[in-house]
Chain A
Amino acid sequence: MSHLRLYTGIFAALAAFATAQVFVEQAGGLPYWTAFWVIIALSLVKAVLVAWYFQHLKWEPRSVSATIFTGLLAAIALTAAAAYSIL
């Protein structure tokens, strides 16, 4: 039951962050690349919240998180190195 409140709180936070992402862009005060990283960071935080609580990674063996993280690393390596190769 106490979990339910936790879940509800997280849901509210997720919705708020999504809204914040749009505001960051439309407010227009920040330089593009600053805004870019803020927005990506917000997405990352949201993703971690969903994975950690909604998908219960918090309560699973760490090796499961490590597996997913490895996949993420692979994807980032591909993206970053490929993009860099044509800069």
Chain B
Amino acid sequence: MTDETSDPRTDGGERVRESRRGAKRTDGGTAAAGHETDHHHGLPAPSSIKRWLVTTNHKDVGILYTVTALFFLVFGGVLALLMRVQLWTPGATILEPLQYNQAVSAHGLIMIFWFLSPFAFGFANYVVPLQIGAKDLAFPRLNALSYWLYLFSGILFGVSFFQGGTFAGGWTMYAPLNLPVYTPNIGASTAVLALLLFVVSVTVSSVNFLTTMHRMRAEGLTLRRMPLFTWTILLTTWMMLFAFAALLAALMILSADRLIGTQYFAATGHAGSLLWAHLFWFFGHPEVYIVFFPALGVMAECFQTFTGKRIVGRKWFIAAMVLVALQSFLVWMHHMFLTSINLEIKTLFMATTIGISLPFDLMVFALVYTMLKGRVRFTTPFLFSFGALVLFILGGITGVFLGAVVLDYEFRGTYWVVAHFHYVMVGGITALVGGLYYWYPKMTGKMYDKFLGKLHFAMYFVGFNLLYFPMFVAWETPRRDFVYPEIYTTWHQLSTVGAFLLGASFLVMFYNLWVSLSTGEDASDNPWQFSTTTEWAIPSPPPLENFPGKPSFSSGSLEFLPDGSDAGDIEPAGPGGREPAATDGGEATTDGGEAATDGSETDADDGEDDDDGKLVTDGGRVMTDGGQPMTDDEQVVADDGTAGAADANAGVADEKATDGGTVTVYDEHAADDEEHGEDHASIWPFRIGLTSFLFLVGLSGLRQGSFPEGLEGGAYLGLTVVAGVGLLWALVGMGREEFHGLEGPFGESWPFTGINNTKLGVWIFLASDVVLFGAFVGSYAFIRVAEGWQNNWHHLIPADHVVLPGLINTYLLLTSSFTVVLALVACEKRSKWGLIGSLATTLVLGIAFLINKAMEWQHLFHVHSEAFPNGWNIGTNVASSTFYLTTGLHALHVIAGLVITLYLIARAWNGAYLDDDQPVELFGLYWHFVDIVWLFLFPLFYIL
């Protein structure tokens, strides 16, 4: 059996390492000169704490995500062990019943939201920019912001334990259990707010990743050639963008119900709880793929790398994933088979559920065949990936049972479901743990201890099955309960033993990864022989700017071009890249041979174009990487022959004298070429995270629209006000800060060529806002249908609720949209006063809108009619709740827009925007969107 292939004695091994070390030294030197002074813009060394508070670099953020996620793994894991102890015998009471409920709920929430997804996004942050050949994400500060919102949302969740106890209604937060009547603790509200903050973080990072992956791929890296891990992240973020918007709506409504007393989930009897289920599962089913796709990506990468084989049917594999991503939005009601929704729709959703398992079969087969056709190297990452596949197959099959309506009548609410989703979800975690071993050398520059890695896997896999398999056997155990039939005691005890074994296996991992940081072997650029993706062509860990020049795939293989050059300038690396592999010695020759067969085989198979691209990419990488010293001369000659490369040339010659690394040459040039350079540090994301956290701690004290009396209430109120001001200050501070991100032109941007990053980012954000408002409108429609659309509904609304204020506001808002259009026209005409005048008019119209609305609301609050003797308030009935909350959310959007308008006016006063009108245009996009929303709210809430 071949072990990890990083044996230093094989060819490149030594040499690569040497040249890399050289490169690193120079890098440290020139880079220190170049970077630290005019490049880093205040990014302190990794050893200082400050570095981690201000960094915006994707690799740093990736590490922050990974470490934080692992912390939450421990947090959630401890809660799980508590539960397993409780389950040792039926009805034990180590924990009080309500404490047990809290443990169950918090465990689920923490694992799914604060561990699983962020763990995957640690890798996404670190690896995706490397794989696509980008220096960073499109919006580095927003990336840092995502992290801080994530961390602080997790801390907020932690705080909830100390406010009378956290949420105890299960991770699905079903209504009406999620209302204060059943979960009265302040901590329960805090948990909801924590999740809300987490969703904000997710939305920000979805926008960021989508913009990056669509717009900033290196030349030649078309979507067809994109590595599979990046593909899974691309699809994951698309799903996140839309699915989490629905969850955001659900959580906003829930927060409103809990904090200010709206009546969505309570007052309408069964409709309230059905509404929650719809909103939650519309998000929830895509969410299970959101957590699973990155794991699939890791599996695909590891299978390819450790079988030395490109995935079989790559094109179909990708197509299947795209299909699943789309279908995932059409199966949500299979979680509602036991509710009162009608049979037709249940049948329909049973069909879509069966449909969605088909593409999964294809993916599974692709992985299995890849393994059968290739020659497997049983490294730790491969073992975990393979284990994940096995677990996923079992989990998937048991899921199909649940997708059948009749069977689900039996299984719903039992341990069968618990076992099913642990097999699939923790199966996913298994792959991600493999990913951690796979990229650990890249992220740290050190190799882990291979024996301990395998020991971890053995303990993990045995522990896992010992823990979860008995749950299938003891399936009649009721879910979320600690009382179960006596006959199952042995099974549950096995389960508990398995849980501790699984937990212990992680201790091995933590020990291994920690100790290897200081005592591990140095990892070469590419410790895995057959890895093909770009991250393995650069040092471990990569330098701040990632690449020794501009990455390009135009020739079909990866090259690093001097900055500012085009793909055509340099001879393609060509197939010579295979050479170093051939000099690998005995074993490597075999490998080389295998790879060759491999290539022709695949060609014969389907003759796809990108086959070749992929293979050559591989070869090209090997050359660029280990092959440098050999080919340097050739390259100089080649360069000589190339017009206009004289500059780079001299550099190559010079550098060669020192360390023989072309890598550093280009680096130096890179530093020279960029007069301004990018920024890598900002403290504002951290500040926004902190103030948001405090603000929400304050808000959690709200109940029925007011803070409790006395000292405690005063403290909550005070915190809300102070932190709210602080949050505003931090937001404005970030807006005012000068920060240079990456500027184009970038390579491949399909299908978003012809629009720049920032504008695309705004549009993508607006797409998620469409779903947010769509879900609000959908909730309104749902409740109204449940109440009886026409007659009953009108009884819930006072006669004083008339059309006129709405119509006036429609005119006001339409006009304000028009004046924003005029503002942009003024910019084009370079008319400063035209610009200021238009913006000021917008401001005035917006304020008039709000005043009109305030007057209308005041009137409605104080109506005195027979039907509404105490006025028509937020909590009067479902009609008033939907009216105030939906139009209130819209009004908040208006207020946010007006704050931006004020800011724009102030800047315009100082002469801004005449040369660069983009900020005005972007504001316009937002403002018009708010206008459009109103165009629907007006008829729905005033006319119909």
Contacts and interface: CB of A to CB of B under 8 A. Distances in A.
Interface of A: 3-4, 7-8, 11, 14-15, 18-19, 21-22, 25-26, 32, 36, 39-40, 42-43, 46-47, 50-51, 54-56, 60-61, 63-64, 67-68, 70-72, 74-79, 81-87
Contacts of A11: 814-815, 817-818, 821
A21 B774 contact: no
B814 A14 contact: yes
A9 to B, nearest CB: 11
Contacts of B771: 71, 74-75
A47 B751 CA distance: 24
A68 B932 CA distance: 13
Given A68-B763, A75-B774, A87 B935 contact: no
A4 B755 CA distance: 23
Nearest to A47: B932
Given A71-B771, A72-B774, A79 B764 contact: no
A70 B663 CA distance: 43
A76 B774 contact: yes
Contacts of A26: 803
Contacts of B245: 71
A56 B333 CA distance: 37
Contacts of A71: 242, 245, 767-768, 770-771, 774
B821 A83 contact: no
A64 B242 contact: no
Given A4-B825, A15-B811, A85-B278, A64 B928 contact: no
B760 interface: yes
A78 B775 contact: yes
A81 B943 contact: no
Contact of A25 (B336, B773, B943): B943
Interface residues of B, number: 65
B330 to A, nearest CB: 7
Given A54-B818, A56-B921, 14 more contacts: A3-B825, A7-B818, A8-B818, A11-B818, A19-B807, A25-B943, A50-B935, A67-B764, A71-B768, A74-B246, A75-B775, A76-B774, A79-B781, A86-B785
Nearest to A19: B807
Interface string B921-944: 100110011011001101100011
A63 B759 CA distance: 13
B770 A18 contact: no
Contacts of B330: 77
Contact of B943 (A22, A47, A60): A22
A46 B811 contact: no
B782 interface: yes
B770 A78 contact: no
Contacts, number: 158
B928 A78 contact: no
Given A7-B818, A64-B752, A71-B242, A82 B778 contact: yes
Interface in B223-270: 242, 245-246
Given A67-B764, A85-B345, A78 B929 contact: no
A75 B345 contact: no
B675 to A, nearest CB: 31
B778 A61 contact: no
B763 A64 contact: yes
12 contacts: A18-B814, A21-B938, A22-B943, A25-B943, A43-B938, A47-B936, A54-B821, A61-B751, A68-B763, A82-B275, A83-B782, A87-B785
A14 B932 CA distance: 11
B345 A78 contact: no
B278 A78 contact: yes
B790 interface: yes
B345 A79 contact: no
B778 A86 contact: no
B767 A55 contact: no
Nearest to B780: A79
A71 B825 CA distance: 29
Nearest to A62: B751
Nearest to A60: B755
A50 B490 CA distance: 66
Contacts of B282: 78, 82
B755 A64 contact: yes
A39 B774 contact: no
Contacts of A84: 342, 345
